[in-house]
Homo-oligomer: A and B are copies of this chain.
Amino acid sequence: MPAPELSSRQLRAFTALAEQRNFTRAAQTCHLSQPAFSALIRTLEETLGARLFDRDTRSVQLTPEGRLFEPSARRLLDDMQGAIGDLADHAQRRKGRVSVAALPSLAAGRLPAILAEFMQAWPGITVELHDALSDACIAQLRSHQADFALAATGAGAAAASDLRGRKLCGDRFHLVCRKDHPLAGAARLTARQLAPWPFIQMARNSSVRQSLDAALHPLRLNAVFEVEHLATVMGLVEAGIGISVVPELTLFHFQRETLVTRPLPLPGLTRTIYLVQRREGSLSVAAQTLHDLILERLGAPA
């Protein structure tokens, strides 16, 4: 035999009749006319090659083979219901999991409020957040540890053939220095003005540093420190050790009485934030929903 066909309707009809032991009532349960229901049972019996019910006009009951089949039928129906239900839960966002990789600045700055909103809207969906530098974000995306990533163009990955990035927003750089620093009150700020001052750099693999290097090249800064974290930058600046230049999205680190932040309106001195995903393979419903929410909340209309 090539392949026995079996449908959930037949299974439901079978269990209904096994319970009711009466064609007329079981037919009503299945919303069928009694003859149609009868035919359904007959077809099932023919398909399975076994008589499942003994029916003399007065009584209907399972044959030994029918009794054998009954638990299987019920389990099949339950499993079907389970599989369908589970899928529906995911499709309707009652269940799910999203994993986002994001730059530390976004992960600490603007993402939390968005994630909170998302989690409140879809409480059944588990959200995972990986805060990592751009390269690590992209790596996690490639290795399927993240569904999508919020990273800077510096990674150079947006153009890679296996990934697909869309611009989320630009992120202009600001000078940060102490309130008592001469640049805090300077009339106009230019790149040349910054160069002499002791400068706190970020590590070379940070997108902040990469954007900065690219924009200021070939200008050389007077780097006195090279650190990993923006919080450290803040501490060093606050201590009067130097100045720094950081993107707008990181300014929350520097909102202090003792410090001043000033936009640097230099052409090209902008970091671009990308929303990156794998080119092959769509996002899960849950991931797509968070993706769209982030796009809506962070996306620049430009």
User: Chain A: residues with CB nearer than 8 A to chain B?
Assistant: 3-9, 12, 48-50, 54, 59, 61, 63-65, 68-69, 72-73, 75-76, 79-84, 86-88, 90-92, 280-285, 287
Contacts and interface: CB of A to CB of B under 8 A. Distances in A.
Contact of A7 (B7, B54, B69, B281): B7
Q: How many copies does the complex hold?
A: 2
A59 B282 CA distance: 12
A49 B280 contact: no
A91 B9 contact: no
Contact of A5 (B4, B7, B82): B7
A60 to B, nearest CB: 11
A83 B64 contact: no
A100 to B, nearest CB: 15
Contact of A54 (B4, B59, B282): B282
Contacts of A69: 83, 87
Contacts of A48: 84, 87-88, 91
Given A69-B87, A76-B80, A64 B4 contact: no
A65 B4 contact: no
A63 B281 CA distance: 7
A83 B47 CA distance: 13
